Amino acid sequence: MLELYTHPMSPCAQKVRIVLAEKNLDWQKHHVNLQEKKNLEPEYLKLNPLGVVPTLVEHGQAIIESSIICEYLDDAYPEPTLRPADPYQRSTMRYWMKHVDVKLHPSCGTIQWPMVMREALMSKPEAERDKILARIPEKPRRERQMRLVKFGLDAPDVADAVRTYRKTIVDMEEILTTRQWVASDQFSLADICLAPYFQTLHQFNWTALFDQDCPNVADWFARCQQRPSYQTAVAADFPETLNNELREKGTAAWSKIEVHLGNS
């Protein structure tokens, strides 16, 4: 049985859940409470030394890093394939997966973290909060999270994060004039790895980043959302009450995002 350590709002975990759904695989869920930083407990760090979700466990072996997990699943369960056969198209797919890992993911964390993770930490006494954050294994992530807890969406990181999002969207708009999906005319891991980062914009009502002047991206995201895999793996975790709450929070915070758009 495949086991996945996951959190409903983690775009990295959503990627993996979409792959599992596309392949119609059964799996067992282990919820990791990120708000309470259960990801930094010694027991979890044994599975994932970076202290992040997702972690996939199969045959008693832990597989970490969401893009690697996605490729592992496509290797282990090849049908239906989620990678183009053509080597150039496959390299394009991997380019986008790498872009997500290196650039879009930290940007998403920067704008999502103050909205959904900060409150639980702020409710703790400062000394306890600092102690928890000091346990984050990687220095850049640790320091970024410390700034995000302290300053929320006023942190200096937010401007760059919004610009990275917007540049990604503009680049996607261009390539989607030439093909149906991001890497080729075939739905692939590139689309799966990008789509959850648009869920973040959608849930906070921040879709003005793309839905006013990037019709190809808007259409691409609508097609991703319509897939049964997206419904099962992502949308099902957002019941109406949660959706309304996130939408309300996001709408109230939009001016802090929008202000950085003019400079992108």
Among the residue ranges 6-14, 87-95, 234-242, 243-251, the one whose residues contact ligand GSH (CB under 6 A): 6-14
Q: Which of 3, 58, 101, 237 binds ligand GSH (CB under 6 A)?
A: 101
Interaction of residue 65 with ligand GSH, rule CB under 6 A: yes
Q: Dihedrals φ, ψ of 243, to 5°?
A: -55, -45
Is 34 near ligand GSH (CB under 6 A)? yes
Residue range at the interface with ligand GSH (CB under 6 A); choices 9-17, 80-88, 120-128, 244-252 = 9-17
User: Could you give the CA distance from residue 238 to residue 95 in angstroms, rounded to a whole number?
Assistant: 30
If one asks whether residue 11 binds ligand GSH (CB under 6 A), the answer comes out as yes
Q: Among 6, 10, 188, 229, which residue interacts with ligand GSH (rule: CB under 6 A)?
A: 10
What's the closest the beta carbon of residue 100 comes to ligand GSH, in angstroms?
8
User: 90: left (phi > 0), else alpha (psi -120 to 50), else beta?
Assistant: alpha
The residue assigned the tokens 């410390």 is 146
Nearest to 40 by CA among 122, 112, 145, 114: 145
Is 67 or 184 the residue whose CB approaches ligand GSH more closely?
67
Residue among 11 and 84 whose Cβ is closer to ligand GSH: 11
Phi/psi class of residue 60: alpha, beta or left (left: φ > 0; alpha: ψ in -120 to 50)? left
| Binding window for ligand GSH (CB under 6 A); candidates: 63-71, 149-157, 171-179, 213-221 | 63-71
For the sheet with 55-58, list strands across it. Answer: 27-31, 2-6, 55-58, 61-64
Query: In this chain, which of 12, 20, 183, 257 binds ligand GSH, going by CB under 6 A?
Result: 12
| Number of helical H runs and strand E runs in the chain | 13, 4
Binding to ligand GSH in span 114-153, by CB under 6 A? 141
Q: How far apart are CA 51 and CA 40, in angstroms?
A: 5
Of 45 and 261, nearer to ligand GSH (C-beta) is 45
Residue 248, helix vs strand vs coil: helix
Would you state the structure tokens that stand for residue 76, as one six-digit string? Answer: 């282990």
Q: Among 51-59, 180-188, 230-238, 241-249, which window interacts with ligand GSH (CB under 6 A)?
A: 51-59
Q: What distance in Å separates the CA atoms of residue 32 and residue 57, rounded to the nearest whole number?
A: 14
Select 52 or 169, whichever has its Cβ closest to ligand GSH.
52
Residues that bind ligand GSH (CB under 6 A): 10-12, 34, 39, 52-54, 65-67, 101, 105, 141
